[in-house]
Chains A and B, each alone.
Chain A
């Protein structure tokens, strides 16, 4: 399986994402610059964290109009897995690939520490390797992770099981319903604030994030490889 790591001006988790795929997951991966014209040949798209365009105007608001985003939208429509982490999640929200928006953390502080997440739905292509309700440890690092959507959207998210990860116990940023990660209705676009690419090796303090990437590969193999 071949992944693209999209690099925007101001991305800073692109190298971690690349490392997670190449060295820990053992799959093919390439960096793709934000002005790329095509994402042909890639089976999965990864939008890394960082501060694209300095978070000017709003987080993700300017990156969302990058050239490559037209291709990301096409890939999402084609059913390919698209994962946005942190700033990548914010970009997916701005692009309308996921519903809702981000507000400043309710503490107004940038928070960088490991948190506990609960796997609220283990039936998605991003979470099938986890147990239901499994509690995992993944670091967060953001100032704007306070997820918001209107009541109608929340009801839709709940009805369609689009909430994949929730904060377990203490809610670090004030997000609605403890939401840490959601998918689109079709289930092939996941946005999450915590950084699974920073939790792929015990040397990094834990490897609980690896199963997200392994879940993507498992689903892709089952769909695309004969005798998988």
Chain B
């Protein structure tokens, strides 16, 4: 079994209005050090072992459904969980 963490954010070239609003709010709280905020999504998937390569599988899911690659980038971490 695998635990997969998927991170989805707007691409660098795409303006993030939510992130900008949060940055403005952080600045008004005097956190002037913050130069950028990007808001994204975090998904946790639990995937059973199958004959398909898990990395390939997750990439396919991201491309097809989880991310919209026109405006979003994705990355993921795969951890194999061994049942005791």
Residue ranges of A at the interface with B (Cβ–Cβ < 8 Å): 57-58, 61-62, 65, 93-94, 100-101, 103-108, 146, 148-150, 174
Contacts and interface: CB of A to CB of B under 8 A. Distances in A.
Contact of B68 (A61, A65, A174): A61
Contacts of A61: 65, 68
A57 B70 contact: no
Contact of A104 (B13, B17, B66): B17
Interface residues of B, number: 13
Interface of B: 10, 13-15, 17-18, 21, 41, 65-66, 68, 70-71
Given A61-B65, A65-B65, A100 B18 contact: no
Contacts of A106: 15, 17
16 contacts: A57-B41, A57-B66, A65-B65, A93-B70, A94-B68, A100-B70, A101-B71, A103-B71, A104-B18, A105-B17, A106-B17, A146-B17, A148-B14, A148-B70, A174-B15, A174-B17
A103 B65 contact: no
Given A61-B68, A65-B65, 13 more contacts: A57-B66, A61-B65, A103-B10, A103-B15, A103-B17, A104-B17, A106-B15, A107-B17, A146-B17, A148-B71, A149-B70, A150-B13, A150-B70
B15 A108 contact: no
A101 B67 CA distance: 11
A101 B70 CA distance: 6
A94 B70 CA distance: 10
Nearest to A102: B71
A184 B66 CA distance: 24
Nearest to B13: A150
